[in-house]
Amino acid sequence: MIEIEIPGHRTIQAEYLVLDFNGTLALDGHLIDGVADQLLQLSADLEVLVLTADTFGTVRKELKDLPVIVKVLDPADQDRQKAEVVNQLGADRVIAVGNGRNDLLMLQESALGIGVILAEGAYVQIMNAIQVICTSITDALDLLLKPKRLAATLRN
């Protein structure tokens, strides 16, 4: 578990990190440099789940040596499937990171939603569901590894 105190706002006590794969952790099906090390560090304190459509069919190969749970989603209603996982885990204990339309509900339901805008772009409506936006997945994950950065952004 990690605890992130947001001065003047609230304290987040997270047990789970739920992530999208393509457009968030990966570009064109390949894990972005530096992400594997960060996921390894985060997995010491959080259970890490990757929920994906697996557009390129590479998620299991790319994450095979990492302590993460991979769930490849059914083609229909992926946004609802992601939100369902978050709610089953206990949304108030989940930090979610994503960029796409099928991430919207997951980001909205989570205790903390972090959006990323990488080379694939981002679905504009996630802006209404997230608390933080980053232009690098490594920066987004660093917010969790160095929570004072997150507190500085979200403080009241």
pLDDT in tens, 119-144: 999 999 999 999 999 999 999 999 99
Structural domains of the chain, count: 1
**Coil, strand or helix: which one is 126?**
helix
Token representation of residue 156: 């009241």
Burial class of residue 117 in the structure, from the number of CB atoms within 10 Å of its CB (0-12 exposed, 13-18 middle, 19+ buried): middle
- 31-46 pLDDT, tens digit per residue, is 999 999 999 999 999 9
- 66-101 pLDDT, tens digit per residue, is 999 999 999 899 999 999 999 999 999 999 999 999
Burial class of residue 93 in the structure, from the number of CB atoms within 10 Å of its CB (0-12 exposed, 13-18 middle, 19+ buried): middle
What distance in Å separates the CA atoms of residue 71 and residue 89, rounded to the nearest whole number?
14
Question: Nearest-5° angle of CA 25, CA 76, CA 92?
Answer: 55
Burial class of residue 138 in the structure, from the number of CB atoms within 10 Å of its CB (0-12 exposed, 13-18 middle, 19+ buried): middle
Question: Nearest-5° angle of CA 118, CA 95, CA 139?
Answer: 35
Q: What is the CATH number of the domain that holds 136?
A: 3.40.50.1000
pLDDT bracket for residue 9 (50, 70, 90)? confident
Question: Nearest-5° angle of CA 16, CA 9, CA 147?
Answer: 45
> Model's pTM, two decimal places?
0.97
What is the domain extent for residue 149? 2-154
